[in-house]
Structure 1
Amino acid sequence: MHDRMPDDTYRRQVLAELREKSSQHTSSQDSHGKGTDELIYKLLEKAEQPNADSSKGIVEALFCTGDEAASLAESGSPHDAPIITEGQQQFRWSKGDRPIAQLFRRMGFLDKSVSVQIPSRSSTAQSYEVRKLSEVRKRFLAQDDTNDPWNILDMQNPVPQPIPSPLTGENCQLLPQVRNAVLMEDSAEMVVASTQEWNEWKNVLDWVLLSEGGHNTAPHMDSHGFATWITAQEGSIGFGWMSCPTEEERNSWTADPHHFTGGRWRYIVLKPGQSVFFMPGTIHCVFRVRQHQTLALGGHVLQWSDIRRWMQVVLAQIKNSAITNEDMRRSAPKYVLAVAKLVKARVEEGEVEQLGGEAAVTQFFASVKEFEERPRRRLPGW
């Protein structure tokens, strides 16, 4: 069930904190955090809670039991609404200590480096700095109040079996097969890829989202056309998205993603143990209250039944790099080639219906051809 009143209270608290932060801001320098906070404030002012009742119009969020979520993930029926469920993570934290503390114990060697988003960094510079895990651990365990909250990027996941149970069915296993196709080529034996090949493959199956309270993430699409799941572990996390955007709204956002405030924005607040799963191309943002650090586990999924939409999203992201959260120019061709090879094999095996039907397969390969024939821009150093 959707707990509407606490979600509304959370949104109002974030708005109040952003107003206070804006009034106290004395520096004229533009920063990544300042621009993001201003945009999140405008979106949260207009954001509403999603409709979950089909008798009241378009369903904008699907609040499901585990079995209902699994059925939706496996059915192949097209839908755009995020799926929200609870208690579906197989892994369990130990009792008696906060998950963030347990996370760092599981990380082991803390002399490794991670990228840390720091809001006060100038908007003309990169949004992140490289810091040691030991420094990150010390800061998070101290739990000091800060006006410049850190957000840890691309952190490896030390936790076993983090994926929610509804996403473990056959339809959601295209991405692991892509990885195997890249690393193993024609072998069906255990992976024996070279170090260089492993280094070229970025593990996107699961990762950690760690943030201090008050850090916000501006609207974006997740890269490479990935569908995404996020499960809150510690602290509550605000998740907002543009619901059912029209073609005009999507094009307007694409043209100016850092300032566009149109469209119908909806939000939920994930509590520990709750998961959200959203489709490729979902325009979404994240917001947090100041008082609590947050930890989430997340990962990416590709569905066999959704190859048509996936390829369309990849094309849009290649054409408009500002709309996504990662540079795709080197990696996207590898994904497209691997998925096309896997889809061709399934078609030859007579499994067209599992791919969304003949029309979906035809459109998929048409998009692949468009991708292959697109004008190529040379990268620096090539």
Structure 2
Amino acid sequence: MAREHRGALRHRALLVVLLLLAVQLVSLARPAYACGCGAMVVDPKTALSVGRETSAVRWDGHHEQIVMSLTVDGNARDAAWIMPVPHRATVELGDSRLFDELAALTAPAERTRRYFWPRSKDWPFRSGDVDGAAAPVPGAHGPGVGVVGRERLGPFDVARLTADDPAALRDWLASHGFRLPSTLATALRPYVAQRWEYVAVRLAPAERGGTLRGTLDPLRLSFASDRLIYPMRLSRLARTPQSLGLYVLAPHRMEPRGAIGGSTPKVFFAGRIKPSRTAVGRLAGTRGAFLTAVDQRFPHPERITGDHELRPTATDTSYQRIRYTDALWKVGGTPAWILTVGGATALLLTAAAVVAVLRQRARRRGAPAAPRA
């Protein structure tokens, strides 16, 4: 009986091990998809995750530019990134300073709020420094011709392909050691039907034998478009919640036409940008542009219904977040409440002294005169 029991335990353990191996193999067979626009394809034997995708879009009513920067991690030595575009695109390296400048430009404004009476962290309730501590408060194209262009940009091998010739994408991926996943081929069908094209980029680390890690150099895609479109449809293939941070430079303040299956898009900055020699100023153009920064969450990527299309708002209202710091009101380095209380006390003491003097004088005037001898 004991022998049979031990045999049953070994059989169950073997089944558990096989099940875990099967789950691992299935997970490895899936391509890692980037958040936002585009899809990432890797060798099934490796893994790659996109921790963050930051994008800036410039649109002047006829022409669109998308600058993208990916932060990746994993053990993949290379990967293929597929990006659908509505018209023939040109590709070049972007300015690595752009997103740092955008982050600084759209950061919350710092404001100080003064309060009069001391709080629990101030003297005399708390010994030591009497300064108030910071307290942040939330406030259509012709027939397809396959590969239409190819260039080497830094660590990127870029191929521009037509979407109405899916075999071109499949052959390009195969030539670089990748396989077109059936799910991705299915997701690309709407773009094929609309005669969109796509950009295929092979990502490789700068060092030979290295892996893809960290923030990659930004890529800039430029194409004709009479609508401001940000491709998002491929993100529905993602297996984890996705987020979108989008900087939009256009003649006017812009807003998404809908949530396309995600949370309500939230604007965290809106304001006019003047031409300058900075990366943001050059992207804004010689006439400047209105910058709208949008944040959106996709807890269930499979619910994404299409691409983002943005439209002008009714008015170009500016907006900036504010982060407050509370501080005790001081005059010349001394808390105002001490000066006020001290002054009031001194005034009361003075008044009391005056009253006492007046009373004393009154008593003297009222006292009878002493008799003469």
Place the TM-score, normalised by the shorter chain, in its bin.
under 0.3
Task: Give 1 or 2: higher helix fraction.
Answer: 1
Q: Which has the larger radius of gyration?
A: 2
TM-score of the aligned structures, taking structure 1 as reference length:
0.24
- Higher RCO (CA 8 Å, separation ≥ 6 residues): 2
TM-score by length of 2: 0.25
